[in-house]
């Protein structure tokens, strides 16, 4: 299908969608059966932790990434993003596809302006395209790494908290991990929501549990690094593991775990060396928690590296 015909079909699709149609952001709705995925023929490429990645099989080199509050498919959507391969940039196609992504996520298309400046980013910062276009959405922004330019729609944390499931829903059944995310990273240059390359930081991974409440008696941490070198994308699981046990005095770089009710906070030491010719895009944490009642649960959480 030619790009022009494809763009025309998308425009017709958007016009045919009621302006009041509810979006999927902040809901537990299914992406794979959405009108967007029917139009773009989404194919699940990978599901890891709380992230689902779909290949769009219509035209171009694009991926759709959906983040949920947990690894359960029924958990709420916290972010939706379009990834456009830098080796096959088509600005017109990206613009029309991202408009369709917004329609799916928010129920409408926000006035984000031109996307062209996003391709000129160098990976050290990001560009905000819209702020709080509705009560569910914190912002729409773009960022860049050597492999992809990303166009991201991010849910508002206050909205998610205000509309969270009731306590009755959270207390029944076996112990499970409900939602988790990195809240902050503190380094010598300040406090951020991402990890800065070349700067050591201590980052808080906050995990909320549901089901039977139980104390954490063991926590094991392993890490995975994603980077681009010589034009090649690499995802590598690092062999080293870190262990936390209650009552053990931690060293300066050791993980620390605290718990208040259903909230478990893992404070971990993270750093990425700056290496010439290599651009690290993400440092992912695999946290394996063992509870006093015997439950063993794992949280996988990516952390953006700039």
CATH of the domain at 251: 2.60.40
Whether 100 and 192 share a structural domain:
no
Whether 153 and 183 share a structural domain:
no
Whether 9 and 147 share a structural domain:
yes
Nearest one of 256, 302, 265 to 280, comparing CA atoms:
302
Whether 7 and 156 share a structural domain:
yes
pLDDT at residue 57, as a whole number: 86
Distance between CA atoms of 164 and 178, rounded to whole angstroms?
Answer: 11
Give the angle 165-171-175 at the CA atoms, nearest 5°: 110
Whether 175 and 156 share a structural domain:
no
The gap between the terminal CA atoms of the chain, to the nearest Å, is: 37
Helix (H, G, I), strand (E, B) or coil at 303: strand
Whether 58 and 8 share a structural domain:
yes
pLDDT at residue 169, as a whole number: 63
Q: Do the beta carbons of residue 278 and residue 27 sit within 8 Å?
A: no
Distance between CA atoms of 164 and 203, rounded to whole angstroms?
Answer: 24
Distance between CA atoms of 136 and 126, rounded to whole angstroms?
Answer: 21
Whether 193 and 75 share a structural domain:
no
Question: Which of 161, 187, 209 lies at the terminal end of a domain, its last residue?
Answer: 161
Whether 48 and 154 share a structural domain:
yes
The 8-class DSSP code of residue 275 comes to B
Distance between CA atoms of 292 and 184, rounded to whole angstroms?
Answer: 28
Question: Which of 161, 182, 215 lies at the terminal end of a domain, its last residue?
Answer: 161
Whether 111 and 145 share a structural domain:
yes
Tens-binned pLDDT, residue by residue, of the chain (306 aa): 444 444 444 444 443 333 335 899 999 999 999 999 999 999 998 888 889 999 998 867 799 999 998 888 888 999 999 999 888 888 899 999 999 999 999 999 998 888 989 998 876 678 899 999 999 999 999 988 878 899 999 999 889 988 887 655 666 788 999 888 898 899 888 888 888 888 899 999 999 998 889 999 999 999 999 888 877 788 889 999 999 999 888 888 999 999 999 999 999 999 988 888 888 888 999 999 999 999 999 999 988 888
Domain count for the chain: 2
Distance between CA atoms of 154 and 138, rounded to whole angstroms?
Answer: 6
pLDDT at residue 170, as a whole number: 66
Distance between CA atoms of 204 and 202, rounded to whole angstroms?
Answer: 7
pLDDT at residue 278, as a whole number: 84
- Alpha carbon 13 to chain centroid distance? 27
pLDDT at residue 98, as a whole number: 95
Whether 22 and 144 share a structural domain:
yes
Whether 24 and 155 share a structural domain:
yes
Q: 116: which 2 tokens?
A: 């062209």
Give the range of the structural domain holding residue 186, as residue numbers without chain letter: 169-304
pLDDT at residue 21, as a whole number: 55
Q: What is the pTM of this model?
A: 0.66
Nearest one of 46, 171, 49, 36 to 109, comparing CA atoms:
36
Question: Which of 141, 161, 181 lies at the terminal end of a domain, its last residue?
Answer: 161
Distance between CA atoms of 108 and 100, rounded to whole angstroms?
Answer: 9
Residues in the chain, how many? 306
Whether 112 and 193 share a structural domain:
no
Residue listed under structure tokens 């009108």: 35
């Amino acid at each position: 299908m030619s790009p022009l015909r494809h763009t025309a079909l998308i425009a017709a699709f958007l016009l045919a969608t009621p302006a009041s149609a509810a979006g999927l952001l902040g809901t537990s709705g299914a992406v794979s059966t959405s009108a967007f995925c029917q139009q773009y023929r989404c194919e699940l490429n990978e599901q890891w932790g709380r992230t689902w990645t779909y290949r769009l099989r219509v035209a171009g080199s694009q991926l759709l990434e959906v983040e949920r509050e947990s690894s359960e498919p029924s958990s709420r959507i916290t972010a939706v993003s379009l990834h456009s391969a830098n080796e096959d940039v088509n600005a017109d196609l990206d613009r029309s596809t991202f408009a369709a992504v917004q329609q799916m996520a928010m129920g409408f298309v926000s006035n984000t302006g031109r996307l062209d400046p996003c391709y000129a980013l160098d990976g050290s910062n990001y560009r905000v395209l819209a702020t709080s276009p509705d009560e569910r959405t914190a912002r729409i922004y773009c960022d860049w790494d050597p492999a992809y330019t990303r166009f991201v729609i991010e849910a508002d944390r206050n909205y998610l908290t205000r509309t969270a499931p009731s306590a009755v829903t959270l207390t029944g059944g076996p112990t499970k991990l409900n939602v988790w995310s990195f809240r902050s990273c503190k380094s010598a240059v300040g406090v951020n929501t991402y990890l800065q390359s070349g700067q050591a930081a201590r980052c808080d991974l906050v995990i909320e549990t549901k089901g039977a409440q139980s104390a954490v008696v063991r926590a094991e941490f392993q890490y995975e690094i994603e980077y681009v070198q010589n034009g090649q994308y690499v995802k590598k699981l690092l062999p080293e593991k870190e262990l936390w046990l209650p009552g053990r005095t931690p060293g300066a770089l050791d993980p620390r775990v605290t718990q208040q009710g259903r909230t478990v906070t893992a404070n971990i030491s993270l750093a990425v060396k700056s290496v010439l010719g290599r651009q690290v895009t993400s440092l992912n944490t695999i946290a394996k928690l063992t509870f006093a009642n015997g439950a063993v649960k794992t949280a996988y959480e990516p952390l953006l590296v700039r």
